[in-house]
Amino acid sequence: MNIILLGPPGAGKGTQASHLVSSRGMVQLSTGDMLREAKTSGTEMGRRVAEVMDRGELVTDEIVIGLIREKLDQGSDGGFIFDGFPRTLAQADALGELLAEKGETLDAVIEMQVDDETLVRRIVNRAEEARAAGQPVRADDNEESMRIRLMEYYKKTAPLIGYYHAKGMLNRVDGLGSIEAVQADIAAILDN
């Protein structure tokens, strides 16, 4: 089973994806994690990616589609969770084509709904908690980058909600509930 977790930054996609990895043996494909890895690679591509990400803007479709293509080639018995990808209509089309090439399908899209004020609060808290614990703080986890990330989401990613709705694949969960409550809602969709 292959699924997309869709939602704004701070909606809890990564947390829910980790749970699906441990509970269902799925493979999480987070383009954000892959790009953060590329940032530290010291390559020219890494430097360009870092600038764009730290501002809170989206990196090019070409780069992220390339990253996903490589991972899909490695295969997954338990299926893939796409976390933070696709983020544009071009990426959504590319994903459909890549899966079709492999004879695979997309089984569900889960939109995690959380209001903006909560999102900004969650991200600022995430940064404060990391700082207090002496852990690295994401360069884009600050209020200014977060506003840009939200704007990018509404301009470029939110149209995917209509796109997948039209394909009859869209499911919605209330992302404001407890982690366990959201887990249960997602499980109910996947087991349906």
How many positions of this chain bind ligand AMP (CB under 6 A)? Answer: 17
The angle that helices 44-55 and 143-152 make with each other, rounded to 10 degrees, is 90
CA distances from 145 to 81, 139, 141, 168, 190 (A): 26, 9, 7, 33, 33
CA distance 140 to 32: 11
Contacts to ligand AMP from residues 5-24, by CB under 6 A? 9
The DSSP letter of residue 30 is E
Q: Is 138 a catalytic residue?
A: yes
The binder of ligand AMP chosen from 85, 94, 106, 127 (CB under 6 A): 85
The binder of ligand AMP chosen from 3, 6, 26, 59 (CB under 6 A): 59
User: What would the DSSP string read from start to end of 103-157?
Assistant: T----EEEEEE--HHHHHHHHHHHHHHHHHTTPPPPTT-SHHHHHHHHHHIIIII
The identity of residue 169, as a single letter, is: M
CA distance 73 to 42: 25
The binder of ligand AMP chosen from 4, 64, 81, 146 (CB under 6 A): 64
In the set 126, 131, 167, 172, the catalytic residue is 126
Contacts to ligand AMP from residues 34-53, by CB under 6 A? 35, 52-53
32 binding ligand AMP? (CB under 6 A): yes
In the set 122, 149, 167, 172, the catalytic residue is 149
- Whose tokens are 């969650």? That residue is 122
In the set 71, 87, 122, 156, the catalytic residue is 87
Q: Is 13 a catalytic residue?
A: yes
Q: Which stretch binds ligand AMP (CB under 6 A): 79-87, 113-121, 124-132, 169-177?
A: 79-87
Q: Is 126 a catalytic residue?
A: yes
Q: Is 149 a catalytic residue?
A: yes
Q: Is 48 a catalytic residue?
A: no
| Nearest partner of 144 among 36, 56, 48, 50, judged by Cα | 56
| Residue placing its CB nearer to ligand AMP in the complex, 26 or 64 | 64
- Please say whether the beta carbons of 62 and 48 come within 8 A: no
**Closest CB to ligand AMP: residue number:** 32
| Chain residues that interact with ligand AMP, rule: CB under 6 A | 9, 31-32, 35, 52-53, 56-59, 64, 84-85, 87, 91, 140, 149
Active-site residues, by number, are 13, 87, 126, 138, 149
